[in-house]
């Protein structure tokens, strides 16, 4: 996906949102004209600065970025489904703020959980799955994870939401530890356009362009959007 959008960020001004410990910094920073990486977590920014000294890495909230002028960047990235960590209202705020800091013709790339994905396991199967091992200790630990999943699921039910546009639900992939935002490609297009952006391409889990408004084969979708000239 980044390779496909390289023309938008190589030798350009880049804002990388939600960098964690610098997971995308090493890809973007060397070829960017100007690179700025931000994350909401102070500890993540500290870790990134420790491993990647000399770069412009800051703690910032993507919902409010007054430190950046209008049209400051050619390219904005929000990777690893980071946009799915906020609620519906904050998602719209972030998209609007990204639109503001983008130059006309600039690109915004992000990924998100796909609500239309049909590969979801059954709830009970996900909750109570246990991998039996030849090691009694490993099997005992696997059984113990069931209790962890139940506890996490119960703790996060107050955050669960289901509407005709999107859902907020826990992800079995991390033992139901945290709620995530899910939307299909059609709903994401609506959100992108409401923020004043154009949806250029949607990519499936294999990095191939998909024109299906209800892509069902991929658990995560990748979006290349553009601010109109």
DSSP 82-112: GGGGS-HHHHHHHHHHHHHHEEEEEEEEEEE
CA separation for the pair 144, 89 (Å, rounded) = 36
**Six token digits for residue 121:** 């396991």
Q: Both 163 and 206 in a single domain? A: no
Within this chain, do residues 137 and 40 fall inside the same structural domain, yes or no?
A: no
Query: 150 and 101 in one domain?
Result: no
pLDDT, residue 173, reads 77
Does residue 160 sit within a domain? yes
Rounded distance between C-alpha atoms, residue 124 and residue 152, angstroms: 14
46 shares its domain with 158: no
**Secondary structure of 5-31 as H, E, C letters:** CHHHHCCCEEEEECCCCCCCHHHHHHH
Total domains in the fold of the chain: 2
**pLDDT number for residue 140:** 87
pLDDT at residue 171, as a whole number: 80
Judge if 61 and 139 occupy the same domain.
no
- Domain range for 55: 6-114+184-226
Whether residue 91 is contained in a domain is answered as: yes
pLDDT tens sequence for the chain (229 residues): 777 788 889 999 999 999 999 999 999 999 999 999 999 999 999 999 999 999 999 999 999 999 999 999 999 999 999 999 999 999 999 999 999 999 999 999 999 999 998 776 677 788 888 888 888 888 888 889 899 999 989 998 888 999 999 999 888 878 888 899 999 999 999 999 999 999 999 999 998 999 877 888 999 999 999 999 9
Q: Are residues 194 and 217 in the same domain?
A: yes
Residue 106: other Cβ atoms inside 10 A? 26
């Amino acid at each position: 996906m980044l390779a496909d959008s390289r023309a938008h960020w190589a030798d350009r001004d880049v804002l990388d949102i939600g960098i964690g410990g610098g997971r995308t910094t090493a890809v973007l920073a060397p070829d960017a004209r100007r690179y700025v990486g931000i994350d909401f977590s102070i500890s993540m920014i500290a870790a990134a600065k420790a491993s990647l000294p000399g770069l412009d890495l800051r703690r910032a909230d993507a919902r409010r970025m007054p430190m950046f002028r209008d049209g400051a960047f050619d390219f904005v990235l929000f990777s690893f489904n980071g946009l799915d960590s906020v609620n519906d209202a904050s998602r719209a705020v972030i998209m609007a703020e990204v639109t503001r800091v983008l130059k006309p013709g600039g690109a915004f790339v992000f990924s998100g959980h796909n609500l239309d994905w049909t590969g979801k396991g059954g709830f009970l199967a996900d909750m109570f799955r246990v991998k039996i091992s030849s090691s009694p200790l490993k099997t005992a630990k696997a059984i113990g994870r069931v209790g962890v999943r139940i506890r996490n699921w119960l703790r996060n039910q107050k955050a669960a939401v289901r509407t005709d546009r999107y859902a907020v639900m826990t992800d079995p992939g991390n033992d139901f530890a945290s709620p995530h935002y899910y939307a299909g490609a059609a709903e994401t297009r609506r959100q992108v356009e409401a923020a004043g952006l154009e949806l250029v391409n949607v990519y499936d889990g294999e990095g191939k362009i998909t024109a299906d408004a209800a892509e069902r084969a991929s658990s995560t979708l990748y979006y290349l959007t553009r601010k109109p000239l």
